[in-house]
Amino acid sequence: MNFSAVQQSIRDLQNSVNVLKSTIDDVKTGNPSYKTAIVFKGLPSDDPFLDITVFSAIKPGWTTLETLVNNSKQQLAALPAQPTPQNNDQLIQIITGYLNWQNSLPENTFSEFSRYIPELVSENILMPVNIRRVAEVKSVANYAQTISDLNTFLDQRILQIPEEIQKINAANTRLQTVKLFDGMLRGYFSSINWAEWKSTRGF
């Protein structure tokens, strides 16, 4: 977050509000009976403030992910080379474990990433369709190929996860500064006595 740019934007906003107040005062000077009601709704920080909540919901998913993937890798390595109904079921369970994780992510996870961490894309994080399909239909058409594909995916994830965690934590830390500017804006609009300010967040 560019602190200087944000501070300048806040000053520009305050100047615009002051110009509005001066304009209204000028009109009233020429026409004492003139009346108007000014209502400011919400704050410029509303959207990023809500993003803090989203990132707070996203972070726990990555806290458990590294353990999940490492355990899945170990379970996969322990599977016998030959397919049997029991081995197929175990393979499906391993796949399902990762699917349960990705399905537990907040719905707007990747739209948030596109705004704050654009290098984290769903194609690298979500399980490939050909592997996911095995769990969805609960049937393993090609046991050896599915194991190979899943191994490749898990190896890739093991390499990516530490950097993802670092970037998610960094983005979350940057977003926390929004609270400072949000407090400044809230204090400013609350202090205006010639207009009404309505919060869009219910607090």
Per-residue pLDDT of the chain (203 residues; tens, 9 = 90+): 677 888 899 999 999 999 999 999 999 999 989 999 999 999 998 988 889 999 999 999 999 999 999 999 999 999 999 999 999 999 999 999 999 999 999 999 999 999 999 999 999 999 999 999 999 999 999 999 999 999 999 999 999 999 999 999 999 998 988 889 999 999 999 999 999 999 988 65
Longest dimension (CA), the chain: 92
Within 10 Å of residue 62's Cβ, how many Cβ atoms? 19
Residues with Cβ within 8 Å of residue 130, at least 6 apart in sequence: 149
For tokens 């049997």, the residue is 84
Give one DSSP letter per residue of 113-150, joined into a string: HHHH-TT--HHHHSPPHHHHHHHHHT--S-HHHHHHHH
State the pLDDT at residue 203: 58
State the pLDDT at residue 172: 92
**Domain boundaries in the chain?**
54-178
Q: Residue 32: phi, psi to the nearest 5?
A: -55, -25
- Total residue count of the chain as it appears in this document: 203
Alpha carbons within 13 A on the beta-carbon side of 165: 14
State the pLDDT at residue 6: 85
Question: What is the gyration radius of the CA atoms in the chain, in angstroms?
Answer: 26
Residue 198 three-state SS? strand
Within 10 Å of residue 69's Cβ, how many Cβ atoms? 21
State the pLDDT at residue 1: 60
State the pLDDT at residue 201: 82
State the pLDDT at residue 4: 83
